Amino acid sequence: MNAYLATGILVLALLRVGDAIFVPLVVSLFIIALVWPIQAALQRFLPRLLALFITLSTTIAIVVAVGSSVVWGFGRLGQWLFVNASRFQAIYVDWTEWLEERGVAVAGPLADRFDVNWLVGFTQGIAGRLNSFAGLALLVFVLVMLGLLEVEDFNRRLESPAAQPYGARIRAANREIGIKLRRFMAVRTFASVLTGLVVWGFALVAGLELAAAWGAIAFALNYIPFLGPFFATMFPTLFAIAQFESWQMAFVVFIGLNLIQFMIGSYLEPILTGASLAISPFAVIFAVFFWSFMWGISGAFIGVPILIAFIVYCAQAPSSRWIAALLASGKTEKLEAQVERKD
């Protein structure tokens, strides 16, 4: 037991230290799992390299469109904050005085260090960091290109007698992971588009400036469970405080955005996802926070897919199926049925 624990700690330390290598590798494997059906379908009536070109071009176009919406949204927000920074500073001073008059002293270090320029820099820094992902994206797409060319050969090696019985288990797990990841991303994309449109419409009705930017930000951040909706709600609420100079209107914006996130994220998405992706909410939250700690924004985005793959692989081996059962959400009859088929 101690040996397994020590090995696990060393592996996690290696993943943390070698993030420059492992992040592009894991993201590329995730993309390959998503787009391989397109590549396989095109290869049936097109040359292999032409099918690869079409698949990669489509993937790059989608990623650039999503990334551009985030950069544009945060860029617009950063410009507005830079122009209206004095309004945030005045509101902060007024609220501080109001609290101190009622005996609530603001912490000295916070009062000394608070500067709205920090908020402006933070927002612009997010947009700049997203722009810096260009180098990472280039490496990822090179790995995706090489990986798509390797999938068929790798599957044949898994089917060879020398790789059995593990080869068959790995291929079955990979097939199941691909199906689940594609369903996860399809539902998440639909929910993200719907969230962005509804937030945009709500911002227009509420009279909130930069309505299109808020919709773009909500659309992109919704791909990150829990953390994304939190920031997509926090930013417009702070913005409403400065624009309307009224805590009542800011409260309305806060409640409205939370209702949108709740109805889509907590009600609609589970219905569309179904029992096949039923995962413990605690496990999802832990995966998002843990992998964001390990790999930053990339880890927060890829955390849930890593968890899905981990659960599938655990369900393949009799000695680790109990882990898959613990990480599942709700009834485990479906998992038990899968176990019986594998046995």
Strands (E), 207-273: none
The SS3 of residue 279 is: strand
Return the pLDDT at 130: 57
Angle between the N-to-C axes of helices 116-131 and 85-101, in degrees from 0 to 180, rounded to the nearest 10: 130
Phi, psi of 279 (to 5 degrees): -125, 145
Peptide bond into 229 cis (omega under 30): no
Q: How confident is the model at residue 226 (pLDDT cuts 50, 70, 90)?
A: confident
Q: In this structure, are residues 100 and 106 in contact, taking their beta carbons and an 8 Å threshold?
A: yes
Does the pLDDT of residue 16 top 60, yes or no?
A: yes
Q: Which residue has the higher pLDDT, 231 or 266?
A: 231
Does the pLDDT of residue 336 top 80, yes or no?
A: no
Return the pLDDT at 118: 56
pTM higher than 0.85, yes or no? no
DSSP secondary structure letter of residue 106: P
Q: What share of the chain is helix, strand, coil (3-state, %, to 5)?
A: 90, 0, 10
The mean pLDDT of the chain is 80
Q: What are the structural domain ranges in the chain?
A: 2-342
d(CA 338, CA 315): 8
Residues contacting 230, CB < 8 A, separation 6+ = none
